[in-house]
Chains A and B, each alone.
Chain A
Amino acid sequence: MSAAGTATRTQRAPVGTPPAGSLPRLLAGVSEDGGRVSVTRHFSVHGGLPLTGARRSWGRREHPPLIEETHRAGLRGRGGAAFPLARKLLAVAAARGPAVVVANGTEGEPASEKDAMLMELAPHLVLDGLVAAAEALGAREALIATCELDEDATDSMALAVEERDAAGIAPHHAPSLRVVTAPGHYVAGQETALVSYLDGGPALPTFTPPLPFERGVGRRPTLVSNVETLAHLALVARHGAGWFRALGTPASTGSTLVTLAGPVARPGVYEIALGSSLESLARAAGGTTREVRGALIGGYAGAFVPAESLRGLALSDEHLAAHGGRMGSGVVALLSSDCCPVAETARVARWMAEQSSGQCGPCVNGLDALAGEIEAVARGRATDGRLEQLSATVARRGACGHPDGVVSLVGSALEAFPSAFAHHARGGPCDRCASVPELPLPAGRVASPRSRTRRARR
């Protein structure tokens, strides 16, 4: 785990409602040396979590106040899909039967570290969000899913649950809190895969419908929400929608955690206001250390942005859309001019193909072929139009969005680095193809989920 920092260095004394327009929010109370926020420090920094009491019955057009407040705050998910949290909460609230709430901290994205860091340093903010969501939905059962490979995050969450029990903080109606570790492969954190795993099945995506909000853990309506999203919810519950919106843009409200990787002096996790510039993030990280050729933004289902578009680039979905990108899981991986973007794309595409859960034919065969064709481009043996044809064949044909993410990644690489792809297609490998890989991939530590399922037909 790399060092944590915040995009602003302001450390204010904890008094009442913190200033609305300042950072840090989620990382408030984290000491300069990156120390974990204990239960006592958490409540002295953030104050108590206002709960409205056990759920009463809500009328047809009436919703729990927290859901209304979340809607006004404009809080969208920070796990990758940016789905409005209020809509998810409403869908679970409207479904029949007692609900279950799940904090998704599985973070299968290899380039992302922000969820693990948040759970390690500010676990009680995650628990507060989970408790607040449980209360709004009348859920008695709350689960925290971590990745089995992130031992520090898992231990921190488990300790946080113990700290609460020992301090007698849980009100009588609070949900039971339980930490569960999930496997580390890429799609294990996809919400239907996580629900399947929590129910004793394999950590593989399932066909939808039903979605978890209709039939989730134990066949009950289930809220699955990213741990960072829940941490923001804990602050919305305390300070309200107006406070939340004081940072960010009208369409992308609040702050967000990003994992900054690549040639900067201090790579790591930063909290930024949505819509702030990439340059200010790079400055907070001590500036770039080498010439930058481009960036991969949003994770391995995200998009490449070439260097010439990085100047003045604002980090929000509405600004990134112009480049086919989105904030996704908050990964900002800068590529130096020492690397070959074709080789980098080929490496990531191959890894993503291996991470197919092996359930859907078009994904298993299509991603293998897609990765193979990029490798062929890199060797100078491209087939004209084959990448485009494979992308069209694969898109939207899986049970989950995994193949679509790879198609997006590959398409953006072709757009961001057209001359590099053209040079390789004509002339084969470049001098930089063999340079040190820059985009982080787990070095063999994550088993492919595919061993027991379908294999590609070669």
Chain B
Amino acid sequence: MSRRVRVNPIACEAHGMCAELLPERITLDEWGYPVVDEKPVSGEELAHAKRAAQACPTFALLLERPR
């Protein structure tokens, strides 16, 4: 099972938790908003991604089924 990490840019308020918890996939732009590598994540990385999604204060980090 794999998932694609995606940001809801309307909900995102640049708290930056995701970049701390999933640095291998998420960096922050110069204003603090996440830039996401959208290649599917799986295995152990998916567990980190789930933790990052749960930690987002505005629920803006999503794990979607790859299209």
Contact = CB atoms under 8 A, between A and B. Distances in A.
B29 interface: yes
Interface residues on B, range: 10 to 19
B31 A207 contact: no
B30 A360 contact: no
B63 interface: no
Given A393-B35, A397-B35, A359 B29 contact: no
Contact of B10 (A366, A393, A399): A399
A22 interface: no
Contacts of A457: 31
23 contacts: A206-B10, A207-B9, A207-B11, A359-B10, A360-B9, A360-B12, A361-B9, A361-B12, A361-B32, A361-B33, A362-B33, A365-B30, A365-B31, A365-B33, A366-B29, A366-B31, A393-B30, A397-B9, A397-B33, A398-B9, A399-B8, A399-B9, A399-B10
Given A360-B10, A393-B30, A397-B33, 10 more contacts: A205-B10, A207-B8, A359-B9, A359-B10, A360-B9, A361-B13, A361-B33, A362-B9, A365-B31, A457-B31
Nearest to A360: B9
A457 to B, nearest CB: 6
Nearest to A363: B9
Interface string B21-35: 000000001111101
Contacts of A397: 9, 33, 35
Lowest 3 A-B CB distances belong to which pairs? A360-B9, A361-B33, A365-B31
B14 interface: yes
A359 to B, nearest CB: 5
A230 to B, nearest CB: 29
B67 to A, nearest CB: 10
- With most chain A CB atoms within 10 A of its CB, the pick from B11, B14, B31, B32 is B31
Interface residues on A, range: 10 to 19
A413 B10 CA distance: 29
Interface of A: 205-207, 359-363, 365-366, 393, 397-399, 457
Contacts of B29: 362, 366, 393
A366 B30 CA distance: 9
Contacts of B32: 361
Nearest to B31: A365
Contacts of A398: 9
A372 to B, nearest CB: 13
A397 B29 CA distance: 11
A365 B29 CA distance: 10
B9 to A, nearest CB: 4
Contact of B14 (A207, A361, A399): A361
Nearest to B8: A207
Nearest to A457: B31
A210 B48 CA distance: 27
Contacts of A361: 9, 12-14, 31-33
Nearest to B13: A361
Contact of B31 (A206, A359, A362): A362
A207 B35 contact: no
Contacts of A393: 29-30, 35
A213 to B, nearest CB: 16
A32 B35 CA distance: 55
Contacts of B10: 205-207, 359-360, 399
A22 B52 CA distance: 60
A91 B32 CA distance: 37
- With most chain B CB atoms within 10 A of its CB, the pick from A205, A362, A398, A399 is A362
